[in-house]
Structure 1
Amino acid sequence: MFTRTIVAVAVAALATAGAATATASPPPDEVTFAAAGVEDDGADCPVTLPGSLTANSRLPDPFTKIDGTRVTAKSQWRCRRAEIKQLAERYVYGEKPPKPSSVTGTVSSSNITVNVSHNGRNASFSASVQLPNGSGPFPAVVVLGGFGADTATIRAAGAAVIDYDPLAVGREGTPRNNKQGAFYTLYGATSSTGLLAAWSWGVSRIIDVIEQSGGNVLRADATGVTGCSRYGKGAFAAGAFDQRIALTMPIESGSAGAPVFRGLQGESGAQPLSSAYGEQPWLGDAFSSFTANPANLPVDTHEVVGMIAPRGLFIMENPHVDWLGARSGSVAALGGAEVYKALGAGGNISYWSDVQDGTHCASRSEWRTPLQQSIQRFLVGTGSAPAVFRISSRKAGDLSEWRTWQTPTLSDGPPTDPPPAAGCTATASVSQWTGGFVATVRVTAGSSPVAGWTVTTALPSGTRIVNAWEATRSADTGTVTFTNVGHNGAVAAGQSVEFGFQGSGTGTGMTPACAAR
């Protein structure tokens, strides 16, 4: 008869699983866990991808930047995360485009509708809503495919359930050169972006609509995401690529999910990377170069875990099904937890593979309490996070076998880009094509909160605005003043919001100026 030994370690300790039971209480975590106010807080960070790749059989150092220098301050993580994001998009998932030129929709107590337009193409999808008892507005958990964390537990913890069908956004069973669904209607059936990034994009558009709804039913600042199996892969990607998601809860995600790619190659019985790549177009087309040799990848999933830091993360795995690669999953969690620890947020990540029932995607009693604690802490805003690692010895990974780097002690030094003493600043990024462009403008408050803002910019000669979102505009040509709409005028000190506009002509060379109202 097989006897299990369970390793239970506090995240702060981050000990490697061993042969004896060990327990420890995590220290209080004073680091903020709040989600960012924007989808991608590092969009303005300059990133130059490597010109060539160097083989490395060990996990890449999450704290070493592309230029070879190391992160030394917590403030530098924002732009280091931007590097990891672009590496993950380029080599693993495919590009997740930013918010389209138009996103509209509705939120009710039973349904969310999403309508998107971009470059003359239109698509739409919807999701059902189940509210918990009590009076709103409520936090909410997006459940991919209706198949994730137990919905009764979610609602009992005080959060609504958003049942999102990712197949409406990126359909399975399609060839890579003819992908289907709302995402590919906008970006093309031959897009090199895989389904996981497309599903993540769909979650982001749901959040866009919640933000626009005014917060009468659902709170825009308290969204979680969960899924199991293939939908666990999607939930993991969604939490990594949208910093507005306050809590990510992937379950038994397997190959192409949380487990490190380098470990899956040698883990007995785990789904091979070539199989995961070929089963469905989950991963981006570029990943085909690494299915036989993941050592050439300049990024791995422990760094994708780090992309979620310091926000809430609860990874749940099943050690009874070899195909799921839970040993490699524990390595990813342990490696990513080093980022949490360096940021002073060790209590915000939990991992649990200590389960009795080996049925795939079963509703497990062992997870019920930490699930409730995670939802209440990161979404409802009460109680404390579980902050626990419970790794079954059936699939216990050893991080020391996979790294040559050590976790730095990051300073609390001044931000890399210090905000102004007061008021606000504005920066613009432009996606240009022949004859037109989309501009995304980020408004950042200084050392004091602002109650409202205006952004003024001079458009290049011959340029005309044809559409704008998340702001009202004074004109379509010449010097244009943009003013916040009702829900995005208040910006906390040091935080950001975004608006955008589409135009004909050229969008390069704009220098927006921000004024607080």
Structure 2
Amino acid sequence: MVIGSGRSQLRATIVMLAMAALVLAGAVQVLARTTIAEAAAGGFVAASPVEDEGADCSVTLPGSLPADSKLPDPFTKLDGTRITTKSDWRCRRAEIKELAERYVYGEKPAKPASVTGTVSNNNITVNVSHNGRSASFSAGVQLPSGTGPFPAVIVLGGFGADTNTIRSSGAAVINYDPLAVGKEGTGRSNKQGAFYSIYGATSSTGLLAAWAWGASRIIDVIEQSGGNVLKADAVGVTGCSRYGKGAFAAGAFDQRIALTMPIESGSAGVPIFRGIPGESGAQPLSSAYEEQPWLGDAFGSFTGNPNTLPVDTHEVVAMIAPRGLFIMENPHIDWLAARSGSVAALAGAEVYKALGAGGNITYWSDIQDGSHCADRPEWQAPLQANIQKFLLKTGDASGTFRISSSKAGNLAQWRDWQTPALSDEPTTPPTTPPTTPPTTPPAGNCSASVSINQWTGGFVATVRVTAGSSPVNGWTVTVPLPSGAGITNTWNADRSGNTGTIQFTNVSFNGSIAPGQSTEFGFQGTGSGTGMTPTCSAG
């Protein structure tokens, strides 16, 4: 009787847990759709309440890794089909995450069995236990003036976005020493720090994923603290140089982080792996892999041939979408690979745009001071704007791209895929024939429209080319530039010149447009872009 009663209670408990899991999975999917809907509507994009929204997605990694010099298509699933709706992105992101862990960073484990700690006005303690092993570390806290609870920015290693600006903007600073979690200067078979005390000194996980794991555990403790000092739903992360690499990984792998701000991250950071070998003076992939065990052990197979990687950093950029992302780079130091970084940002921004969140990403390499990890006046205003928008939730400034002409990448050279128009929800086939005729596509050969992101002394233009009632096989867009304007960079099109009336023509992958469908190209310029009226001709 006792055994039978125990089994009955156990079965009931299992059923209740299974039902709870199903409810939680459904809630995660609803929250994911809500977040993307907010982005499309131009509202505040809340950080996720969970570390990984796609934890329930089934992922089967590829059996072979064919070489491809072009950037992988972030919209194509591992089964070869493309996503069609914004809600599809949740599980597509899960695929990218698995690829990034397997081939680049090493595994970032989920929340350990036990995470406890404390939050005070000047300190955070973190205690972790898992599988009979324990580790602890701490982080300092600097509060802004005023009355809390406050949003907060985790600053890796004391190097990141200007902490004075962060605090004066109304956010706290969490001073996180990542070396306490993953120590530098160790061999790959003898890794040390809190992470490796839990998961073993021979873990194949690199330091960047370990540092990201540590940032996640800090957020766990903030969540448990009751929100009296710091807000768990308004956390940002930043770092410069190697800590910029870590901040980038932290923001990509934890969807609770509302704002990610990597600075001058260089090889193993934002810049595309495929671009680094061809970028003069950039730190070679083999050097970045061997300098410290930043990247996972598996990446050693790709340092000589990144074209066989089934993932690249533009997709890590995309993992952060639609949350806030502010990438800061330095074009004055070749070692930092800013040209490859601009390509990663431009390609990742395509996912932001497809999700209706193009205004949530900012990239800025147009700076004067070439010193490494300096506090730059050019970054102060966008830093304040990003904190207001994503942490304080009081601003609505749209992101901008300010790419240095000396290190401007051309996305058209790196992709052979186009950005799809993702629908808000899955399309349900009609059960009865439609009672109204389908919408007639725009008449004529092709048309062009332009949107401008203008700032003092420069602008970025995004031009949409739309086919009329017949397919387009090749197009030319003519744009008369305003007086004094000049073009410094173009992507997804070829151009006839830099000033005056410019003709833009399609490149190999975007010349064919189906009736009523569109493609986009863009260019950056100096001066004013206001008042441009593009015209399009097909053929």
Shorter-chain-normalised TM-score: which range?
0.7 to 0.9
Query: Could you give the per-residue CA deviations for residues 372-396 of structure 1, whole angstroms, max 9, x where no partner exists?
Result: 0000100001112341000001100
Quick check: 1:331 aligned with 2:378? no
1:69-84 matches, cutoff 5 A: 69-84=81-96
Match of 1:355 among 346, 363, 367: 367
The RMSD of aligned alpha carbons is: 1.3
Report the structure number with the largest CA radius of gyration: 2
1:133-212 matches, cutoff 5 A: 133-212=145-224
**Misfit runs of 4+, over 6 Å:** none
Partners of 1:383 and 1:298 lie apart in 2 by 37
2:108 is matched with 96
Superposition deviation, residue 30 in structure 1: 1.1
Match of 1:299 among 311, 316, 323: 311
Query: Could you give the per-residue CA deviations for residues 30-66 of structure 1, whole angstroms, max 9, x where no partner exists?
Result: 1541111000000000000001111110000000000
1:261-410 matches, cutoff 5 A: 261-410=273-422
1:119-134 matches, cutoff 5 A: 119-134=131-146
Partners of 1:38 and 1:381 lie apart in 2 by 19
Contact 1:42 1:81 in 2 (8 A): yes
3-state SS of paired residue (1:261): coil
Query: Could you give the per-residue CA deviations for residues 393-441 of structure 1, whole angstroms, max 9, x where no partner exists?
Result: 110000000000000000011499xxxxxxxxxxxxxxxxxxxxxxxxx
3-state SS of paired residue (1:262): coil
Query: Could you give the per-residue CA deviations for residues 434-455 of structure 1, whole angstroms, max 9, x where no partner exists?
Result: xxxxxxxxxxxxxxxxxxxxxx
2:71 is matched with 59
Quick check: 1:237 aligned with 2:249? yes
Partners of 1:415 and 1:381 lie apart in 2 by 33
Quick check: 1:109 aligned with 2:121? yes
Which amino acid in 2 is paired with 1:133? S
Contact 2:40 2:356 in 1 (8 A): no
Partners of 1:79 and 1:32 lie apart in 2 by 23
Contact 1:252 1:318 in 2 (8 A): yes
Match of 1:256 among 268, 274, 284: 268
Partners of 1:288 and 1:415 lie apart in 2 by 43
Contact 1:232 1:250 in 2 (8 A): yes
3-state SS of paired residue (2:345): helix
1:420 is matched with none
Contact 1:132 1:155 in 2 (8 A): yes
Superposition deviation, residue 78 in structure 1: 0.1
Match of 1:33 among 17, 24, 45: 45
Partners of 1:348 and 1:183 lie apart in 2 by 32
Which amino acid in 2 is paired with 1:274? S
Which amino acid in 1 is paired with 2:230? L
Superposition deviation, residue 135 in structure 1: 0.2
Which amino acid in 1 is paired with 2:208? L
Contact 2:65 2:308 in 1 (8 A): yes
Partners of 1:51 and 1:394 lie apart in 2 by 40
Partners of 1:384 and 1:232 lie apart in 2 by 25
Query: Could you give the per-residue CA deviations for residues 91-112 of structure 1, whole angstroms, max 9, x where no partner exists?
Result: 0000000000000000000000
Query: Could you give the per-residue CA deviations for residues 351-392 of structure 1, whole angstroms, max 9, x where no partner exists?
Result: 000100000000000000000000010000111234100000
TM-score normalized with structure 2 length:
0.72
Question: Residues 382, 28 of structure 1: CA spacing in aligned structure 2 closer, same or farther, 3 A cutoff?
Answer: farther
Partners of 2:168 and 2:426 lie apart in 1 by 41
Contact 1:370 1:386 in 2 (8 A): no
Question: Residues 415, 309 of structure 1: CA spacing in aligned structure 2 closer, same or farther, 3 A cutoff?
Answer: farther
Superposition deviation, residue 131 in structure 1: 0.3
2:476 is matched with none
Partners of 2:70 and 2:397 lie apart in 1 by 31
Which amino acid in 2 is paired with 1:115? N
Contact 1:377 1:383 in 2 (8 A): yes
Q: Mind listing any 5+ residue stretches in structure 1 that lack a counterpart?
A: 1-26, 417-517
Q: Which has the higher contact order (CA 8 A, sep 6+)?
A: 1
Query: Could you give the per-residue CA deviations for residues 148-207 of structure 1, whole angstroms, max 9, x where no partner exists?
Result: 000000001110000000000000000000000000000000000000000000000000
3-state SS of paired residue (1:39): coil
Question: Residues 380, 411 of structure 1: CA spacing in aligned structure 2 closer, same or farther, 3 A cutoff?
Answer: same
Contact 2:123 2:139 in 1 (8 A): yes
Question: Residues 105, 379 of structure 1: CA spacing in aligned structure 2 closer, same or farther, 3 A cutoff?
Answer: same
Partners of 2:311 and 2:49 lie apart in 1 by 26
Which amino acid in 2 is paired with 1:298? P
Which amino acid in 2 is paired with 1:408? P
Match of 2:61 among 49, 53, 64: 49
Which amino acid in 1 is paired with 2:57? C
Quick check: 1:222 aligned with 2:242? no
Partners of 2:111 and 2:122 lie apart in 1 by 25
3-state SS of paired residue (2:76): coil
Partners of 1:28 and 1:116 lie apart in 2 by 38
1:359-508 matches, cutoff 5 A: 359-414=371-426
Partners of 2:303 and 2:289 lie apart in 1 by 7
Partners of 1:397 and 1:205 lie apart in 2 by 36
Q: Mind listing any 5+ residue stretches in structure 2 that lack a counterpart?
A: 1-38, 429-539
3-state SS of paired residue (1:405): coil
3-state SS of paired residue (2:403): strand
3-state SS of paired residue (1:37): coil
Partners of 1:205 and 1:265 lie apart in 2 by 35
Partners of 1:264 and 1:157 lie apart in 2 by 36
Contact 1:29 1:347 in 2 (8 A): no
Contact 1:76 1:415 in 2 (8 A): no
Partners of 1:103 and 1:87 lie apart in 2 by 27
The structure whose residues are more often helix, as a share, is: 2
3-state SS of paired residue (2:278): coil
Which amino acid in 2 is paired with 1:111? N
Contact 1:55 1:295 in 2 (8 A): yes
Question: Residues 395, 29 of structure 1: CA spacing in aligned structure 2 closer, same or farther, 3 A cutoff?
Answer: farther
